[in-house]
Amino acid sequence: MKVKYDAEVDILNTTSKKQLRKILLNQRCQIPHSIWQQKSQAICDRLSHWQLFQEAQNILTFTSFRQEPDLAYLWQNFPHKNWGFSRCVDQDLVWHQVAIADFVSNMRSGTFGILEPCSDLPLMDLENIDLVLIAALASDRRGYRLGYGGGFYDRWLPSTKAKKVGVMFDEFYVDALPNDPWDVKLEAIATDLRLIAIAKDTKK
């Protein structure tokens, strides 16, 4: 039985971010595990062939939570890159470098049940980050991203000059999302079907 995901129909009839989060998270969690794996692998394949990823040495990324895309293939197959993962500390993100060879022993279940690096690991040099891979529930053509509502990335992202790339499944790429003045726009979006560059002059 084929499962149909129609994120945009719900979005067109929904106005608040809170409502959208509930709808989209429920839709994403309904994706069958085998399909989720296939779609995650497709994203990894697309990213691994992207010149920007190939040239990047210092990359910040995320571990899959609530059926977000699983990017483990990337750090497992490119262990020579410097990989940074975040911890939630109070209202901030703290980024640690994780040695991929010791990934399992270097990670633990942290805030909200998300897999996080151990607190004694070295910090990433945030002045020299090339690429930030950011999980999204949804994103739109203007580069606005819908997350979980904690504001962790919106508080941190203005401090980095690295390329900001949203990562999500293609059915959650929509024409327009509600946005707030403090929302930080993405510069590109990676889905299982395509890589999307966001025009810098895209209006709200």
Question: What's the pLDDT score for residue 14?
Answer: 54
Q: CA 74 to CA 177: how far, in whole Å?
A: 29
Question: What's the pLDDT score for residue 3?
Answer: 40
Please name the residue that has the structure tokens 């989060």: 21
Which candidate, 11, 10, 55, 3, places its Cα nearest to that of 31? 3
Domain map of the chain by residue range? Answer: 7-197
Q: CA 11 to CA 64: how far, in whole Å?
A: 24
pLDDT tens across the length of the chain (204 residues): 334 445 444 454 556 888 888 899 999 999 999 999 999 999 999 999 999 999 999 999 999 999 999 999 999 999 999 999 999 888 788 999 999 999 999 999 987 789 999 999 999 999 999 999 999 999 999 999 998 867 678 788 888 999 999 999 999 999 999 888 888 899 999 999 999 999 876 555
- Identify the CATH assignment for 7-197 out of 3.40.50.10420, 3.40.50.10470, 2.40.110.10, 3.30.70.270: 3.40.50.10420
Query: H helices within the chain, ranges in order?
Result: 7-12, 17-29, 33-48, 51-55, 72-77, 103-106, 152-156
Residues 60 and 124: beta-carbon distance below 8 Å:
yes
Question: What's the pLDDT score for residue 49?
Answer: 97
Helices (H) and strands (E) in the chain, counts: 7, 12
Write the CB contacts of 118 (distance below 8 Å, at least 6 apart in sequence).
Answer: 96, 106, 107, 108
44 three-class SS: helix
Question: What's the pLDDT score for residue 5?
Answer: 46
Q: What is the tens place of the pLDDT at every residue in 29-77?
A: 999 999 999 999 999 999 999 999 999 999 999 999 999 999 999 999 9
